[in-house]
Structure 1
Amino acid sequence: MDLWELERDCWAKGHDLVCGCDEAGAGPLAGRVYAAAVILPRELAIEGLNDSKKLTPKKRDRLYDVIVEQAEAYSVAWVEAQEIDETDILSARMNAMQRAIDGLKVRPDFALIDGNRDHGKQGAVTTPHATVVKGDSLSASIAAASILAKVSRDRYMEEMAAEYPQYAFEQHKGYPTKLHYEKLRQYGPCPIHRRTFLKKL
């Protein structure tokens, strides 16, 4: 499968600097939602590059280092749990992605955004862009962004596991697992829990 086809289409339309953008952590009950934006050198071959969800944690960590080293530009941004509660998760995802794009050391001409949404009630991607369903499997730039976002969020949740050891975040990363619900019933929510996600408790 050719992961550069979408970028080539953008270049052909005159968009010289194209970034891919993806987010991680929309579904968990706790913690930030992360996003990353990446501009890769044209046609760069990165062995094993793929949708982060299709990779093992070890492979994601290895690719994270390769992407950070070889990207023309990359940026990682996030939205805190409190802001997710104050807005909504869709708006938070869009805000995180636009912040990641804004954090790039060079301004992209165009962005390829994973998914089929580009705005929420209180947040939107404002950079010229196109949404791409399953983009992390179709675009090298989005795949790279998906890895940076996922690894960054997992590392953050491992830090939170040390800060709040009673929740065993290292085992579920804040996702709504049976274990996580058991810990919530036992201890109640901590400061990084998304209160608007806990209405079923």
Structure 2
Amino acid sequence: MTKQPSLSSLKQELADVTSLTDPRLVSLTADSRKGAQSLLNQIKRRVAKAEAAELAFQERLHYERPLWAANQLVAGIDEVGRGPLAGPVVTSAVILPQDFDIPLVNDSKQLTPKERERLYPLILDQATAVSIGIGSSQLIDQINIYQATRVAMQLAVLGLGVPPQHLIVDAMQIPVDLPQTRLIKGDAKSASVAAASIVAKVYRDHLMDTYDVLYPGYGFTKNAGYGTAEHLQGLVDRGVTPIHRRTFSPVQKIIANESRS
């Protein structure tokens, strides 16, 4: 009687199964051991999850495909950091190649920090071109957050080493002379915008980590500049830093209180 392979060796051998039609699953299906059937169910769930992710990814290429078919270079643009009290608004423009294949690239808000960090270098490696545009807290105070975001998006587009022929942008109109597809929640509908959202988010998070070292006591690494209790207490205890947005209400109040005291 042939000795059955151990469950640990089966698990290792079948770790790369990506389809339920894989012939290696035939013997596993016939294996009556409880552990073998549990492994089979694990594989089925893993394959189903991967297939669902691939299907969703293909749907997120809906807007790119007709433009690619016309041999156009398409840039996705997104921003992060419109709401915080401190730090810049950061935008990114990303041109993906037609053979781009990272199904997990999705709206950065739907990903964990660990997933974003893992995808960030993969996007940089596969993308045809990537650019960052920054609207400083000073610019935000001068022209308001909406206009500063548009300027930062413009800088990101103009900074691309390869000029795009069409833009897909999350909800805004960018002041450049290029045709633009504007999508509500574009980072969940377009892979190009999703890639830009991940790049912008990770870039800004790293920037806020640096600011946390320069300006300790506000919790910038944890709150990314948003008005958490720790951040607001830091404003009260330590005052306003050069990266704070002075036109944003809580910061304005601190400045007014300082001027009165």
TM-score (ref. length: structure 2): 0.72
Structure 1: segments with no counterpart, 5+ residues: none
1:9 equivalent in structure 2: 66
Confirm whether residue 53 of structure 1 aligns to residue 109 of structure 2. yes
> Matched residues in 2 for 1:179 and 1:3: separation?
38
TM-score (ref. length: structure 1): 0.92
Confirm whether residue 96 of structure 1 aligns to residue 135 of structure 2. no
Question: In structure 1, which of residues 186, 195, 201 is the aligned counterpart of residue 246 of structure 2?
Answer: 195
1:34 equivalent in structure 2: 90
> Matched residues in 2 for 1:150 and 1:65: separation?
13
User: Any conservation in 1 of the 2:68–2:98 contact (CA below 8 Å)?
Assistant: no
> Matched residues in 1 for 2:186 and 2:102: separation?
17
Aligned AA (2:85): L
> Matched residues in 2 for 1:128 and 1:89: separation?
24
**Superposed, which structure 2 residues align to 1:71-82 within 5 Å?**
71-82=127-138
Confirm whether residue 130 of structure 1 aligns to residue 185 of structure 2. no
Question: In structure 2, which of residues 225, 233, 242 is the aligned counterpart of residue 174 of structure 1?
Answer: 225
Q: Which has the higher contact order (CA 8 A, sep 6+)?
A: 1
> Matched residues in 2 for 1:200 and 1:131: separation?
36
1:68 equivalent in structure 2: 124
Q: Describe the SS at the equivalent of 2:160.
A: coil
1:185 equivalent in structure 2: 236
Structure 2: segments with no counterpart, 5+ residues: 1-55, 255-261
Q: Describe the superposition over 1:18-45 as per-residue Cα deviations: whole angstroms up to 9, x where unpaired.
A: 1100001000000011000001111421
Deviation at 1:179, TM superposition (A): 1.6
User: Any conservation in 1 of the 2:92–2:133 contact (CA below 8 Å)?
Assistant: yes
Give identity over the alignment, percent: 46
Q: Computing the radius of gyration over CA atoms, which structure comes out larger, 1 or 2?
A: 2
Q: Describe the superposition over 1:147-185 as per-residue Cα deviations: whole angstroms up to 9, x where unpaired.
A: 000000000000000000121211211001122111111
Name the count of aligned residue pairs.
Answer: 195
User: Any conservation in 2 of the 1:64–1:151 contact (CA below 8 Å)?
Assistant: yes
User: Any conservation in 2 of the 1:34–1:77 contact (CA below 8 Å)?
Assistant: yes
Q: Describe the SS at the equivalent of 1:105.
A: coil
User: Any conservation in 2 of the 1:94–1:125 contact (CA below 8 Å)?
Assistant: no
User: Any conservation in 2 of the 1:29–1:194 contact (CA below 8 Å)?
Assistant: yes
Aligned AA (2:236): R
> Matched residues in 2 for 1:37 and 1:69: separation?
15
Q: Describe the superposition over 1:93-135 as per-residue Cα deviations: whole angstroms up to 9, x where unpaired.
A: 11111111111111100100012x316xxxx354321211111
Instruction: Give the RMSD, CA atoms, in angstroms.
Output: 1.4
